[in-house]
Amino acid sequence: MADYVGWFNQSNSRGTMSLMQGCLSAIILCTWDALHLNVPSDDDSYRTTLLRQLKWTLFGILAPEWLAIFALREWFEATRWLDREIDVVAALSAWTRVHSHFVYMGGFNIIFPDGKRYRLNAPQFLALLKVRYIDPPHMLKKEIKDKSKADHLGKGLACLQMLWLVVYLIIRTAQHLPVTTLELFALSVVCCTLFNYVALWEKPKQVEQAVDIQALHANDEIMAILEQHEDIFSFPGRRISLKDNVGRNCTNSGYFVFIYALPTFAFGTCHLIGWQLSFASEVERNLFRSSGIGCLVIPLTLLCLGDVMQNVSGLWKQLVNILIFLITMLYVLLRIYLIIEVFAGLRQVRAAVYQDVNWAQFIPHIGS
């Protein structure tokens, strides 16, 4: 077998096709299953919700660390809301973090006497609850979970797929067998997906319909409160998108920036593991290394600049905006190259890449 090979047909060892199938199945399955999207609009069709799920899955594959950051921010929003407003929710003896997630994902509609309904975001829900314009929803945790479509079998399969990939790459490394850039990319997606699983563990999944709450006061006064907590008051029964709620109440303190940096660190580090990988050319090697460093440094820089944006104004704010735009464009270019390289790199790899691990070394046996 030559030192370097291109497309390799599977025989007694693994081949290019089986390698790609294993990595892509792990990437798609764990990303799809880790999504916990908000409650759809009242008039959303099945096609609309399916396309939304596909869109976020694609986003999670192309930018898994940012999807993990979204999940962490959702967790902070629900937790911070529950802790900060404990004086309000203390009257709700059965209130849990599951309830808070349900509020933030747009789980409640307010119904007016004339039949009109509006989807409540978290600040609106809290404001109406404080002035007693709505009754506290007396839903048990198990009632909310009953609306959830969490597939435990799917989660189990996704977790087994992730565990298999991690264990397999560890064993290959232990036996000094080379890996590919595609496998490192799959590992980075898996690592970021773990943040999603942990952060959104208590968030209901695939809830199809919001719960109705009756208005207890005049329409005009309630509408005034709703509009006060929404810059653009949209159509009735609208969906609360992830970007609507994420970061609405949670400040970018240094502590939060540090926590949000964890998935970014995981994603960049997984690629930097391939620092010594062999490439078709020195240019590709340098570009891959630069992309790995960029994936580690640039998101942290953007998070810090986002914090700076909240403390400056005027000309300085415009300059920071321009800087954020330029850095973002650089980051997009690096990520585009990275996606191309993880597949293009398979055109020439070390022959040992297709040598399978020796499982006998890890299977206990009784000698004669």
Angle (CA) 35-76-101 rounded to 5° is 55
Domain membership of residue 78 (yes or no) is yes
Structurally, the chain folds into a number of domains equal to 1
pLDDT digits (tens, 9 = 90+) for 113-147: 877 888 888 888 888 888 888 888 888 888 888 88
Domain membership of residue 201 (yes or no) is yes
Domain membership of residue 368 (yes or no) is no
What is the residue range of 46's domain? 10-250
CA gyration radius, the chain: 24
Domain membership of residue 327 (yes or no) is no
pLDDT digits (tens, 9 = 90+) for 210-266: 898 888 877 788 888 887 776 545 556 678 777 666 655 555 455 666 777 889 889
Contact 180, 11 (CB under 8 A): no
Domain membership of residue 79 (yes or no) is yes
Establish how many alpha carbons lie within 13 A of residue 88's alpha carbon, considering only the half-sphere containing its beta carbon: 19
Instruction: Give residues with Cβ within 8 angstroms of 153, minimum separation 6.
Output: none
pTM value? 0.84
Domain membership of residue 333 (yes or no) is no
For the chain, give the percent of residues with pLDDT over 70: 85
Domain membership of residue 16 (yes or no) is yes
Domain membership of residue 19 (yes or no) is yes
